[in-house]
Amino acid sequence: MTGVLHLQSRAYPLHHHSPDPSLDVVTVPGYGDLRPVAGELGSLAYNPDATIEIDLTGAVNPVIDLPGTEIVACHARILSAGTVLVVYALRHETDLRSLPLPELDALDAKVNRILREADAPILSAVLAAAVGSGLISGLALRPDLALGGDRSPIDRQSARYNAHFVTQDPPWTADPRVPLLAAGPDCRILLPYTYAWDHDPATPLADLLTMTEPADIAVSQQSLLVGALVAGRWVLADLARGHPESADVHAFRRFLDGLWADFHHLDGYRIESTQAHRATYLAARETIGLDDTQERADKLLGYVSNSLLAASSQRTEALDNRLNRVAAALTVVSAASFGLDIAVFVLPQVSLGTKLAVVAGLIGMAVSFLVVAILPRSSWSRHRRAPAPPAAVRSRVPAPASAADPLPEPAVAPDGP
C-alpha cells in the first residue's frame, strides 16, 4: 500500500433530536453489537458541539469487497445538528501520487459508487437499531422516506461526499477552474469536494477527522439543502398529479423546521471554529456553491409552502361543502319525520290505503330532496340538456349544398405591391 490515505466523508441529512447522553450497546441484527462513544467537534474554539462516534469497521469489512483497496476504518459520526457523517479510510495498491488529477477523481468516484451500493443495507440496519435503542430519537425524514416498508430511510439521493487525500507534499495541482481561495494551512482544494492535505497519513484517525472537519461541515450543509430541494420537488410533483391528500402539510412543516434548524446550527461553524479551520470552511463552502444552493432552496420551499396552503384550502372547502350537504339532508329527514307525525295525528280515522298513500308520498318527497341535497351539483347538472341555439343564429348557418349545386368561384385577390 502507498503512502496516501484516502478519506471519503459522506454526509447524510437526518433530522433528529440531540444525541442521547446514555451510550448503551446497540445490537444490529446480522451485524453484531456496536459500542457508541461520546465525542465532539475538535475544530471549535468556543462552544463545544457533541457527537456520537460509532466504529463500523467490523460490520463493513466482511461485506464489502474492493479489489486493490483496503478499508482501514469506517466510522459513523452522529452530529447534534441532525447529520450523520460516514467516513471511510482507504489505502490503495495503486500509487495515487503518480495519477493525474482527472484519473484520481475518476478512481475516487468509482470507489464511492461501490461503497454506496454495498453499505446501503448496513447503514439502514444501523439506523433502525439506533432508533429502536433510543440512541437517536425524534426523526423528521423527507416526506417520501419512512422507517418501515421497502424503502430505505437512508437519504442516499441527498447525500454528498468529500474526498480527502492525505500525504506529505501532495503532488497534485488544483484544477484551473477552481477559484483561488485562501484555505487553511496544509489544505489545497483540488476540485469541488476534493482536497489534498499535506500531512502524515499515519496520524491517528481521530486527529485526521478533526483536520477535515471544516470541509465536512460544509458538505453536510450542502446535503441538508439538497434534501430540501428533493423533498420540495417530490411534494410539487404529487400536487401536480392531483394527489394533494398524500401531501401532509404538518409533516412537511416539521421536516422544514428540522432542516433550517440544523442548517443554521451548522452555519454557526464560521464563528465558532478556530481561525485556521474557519478559513478552510469558508473556502470550501464557496467552492461548492453553498450560498447559491441556499438561495435556490429558499425560493423553491417558499413556492411549495404556498402550493400546500392552496391545496389545504381546497380540501377545507370541499369538506365544508360535504358537511353542508349532510346538514341539508338531515334537515330533510327531520322534516319528513315531522310530516309523518302530523299525518298520523291529523288523519287518525282514514283508511289504510290513504295512510299508505300519504306515507309513500312523504317518503318519496324526502328521498327526492335527499338526492338533490347530498349529490354534488356537478353530478346532476351535467345531465341537463343544453339549450338550442337562438333562431337568429340558426338562420345564419348556411344549408348544406346538394351534389347538383355548382361549386362557388374562388375569390381573386386584388393586385398589390
Residue with the bigger pLDDT between 93 and 157: it is: 93
CA distance linking residue 28 with residue 128, whole number of Å: 8
pTM of the model: 0.74
pLDDT band at 380 (very low <50, low <70, confident <90, very high): very low
Mean pLDDT computed over 185-196 = 94
CA neighbor of 130 nearest in space, from 259, 275, 276, 22:
22
CA distance linking residue 171 with residue 326, whole number of Å: 78
Taking only the tens place, the pLDDT of each residue in 42-87 is 999 998 899 999 999 999 999 998 989 999 999 999 998 889 999 9
DSSP sequence for 273-316: B-HHHHHHHHHHHHHTTHHHHHHHHHHHHHHHHHHHHHHHHHHH
Q: What is the CA radius of gyration of the chain?
A: 35
Mean pLDDT computed over 334-363 = 64
- C-alpha cell of residue 333: 329527514
pLDDT for position 34: 92
Residue with the bigger pLDDT between 373 and 295: it is: 295
Taking only the tens place, the pLDDT of each residue in 200-251 is 999 999 999 999 999 999 999 999 999 888 888 877 777 777 665 555 677 7
pLDDT for position 23: 79
Residue with the bigger pLDDT between 29 and 401: it is: 29
End-to-end CA distance of the chain: 85
219 contacts 189 by C-beta, under 8 angstroms = no
CA distance linking residue 143 with residue 14, whole number of Å: 12
CA neighbor of 169 nearest in space, from 144, 197, 148, 137:
197
Indicate if the pLDDT at residue 269 is higher than 90: yes
108 contacts 194 by C-beta, under 8 angstroms = yes
Those residues with Cβ within 8 angstroms of residue 52's Cβ, 6 or more apart along the chain or in another chain:
19, 23, 36, 37, 38, 39, 77, 78, 135
Taking only the tens place, the pLDDT of each residue in 120-153 is 989 989 988 888 888 888 777 666 665 554 455 6
CA distance linking residue 175 with residue 26, whole number of Å: 43
Taking only the tens place, the pLDDT of each residue in 97-118 is 999 999 999 999 999 999 999 9
Burial pattern 239-268, b for ≥16 Cβ within 10 A else e, equals: beeeebeebeeeebebbbebbbebbebbbe
pLDDT band at 404 (very low <50, low <70, confident <90, very high): very low
SS3 72: strand
CA neighbor of 212 nearest in space, from 227, 196, 223, 224:
196
Going by the DSSP 8-state scheme, the letter that residue 245 receives in this structure is G
158 contacts 227 by C-beta, under 8 angstroms = yes
Report the chain's mean pLDDT, rounded to a whole number.
79
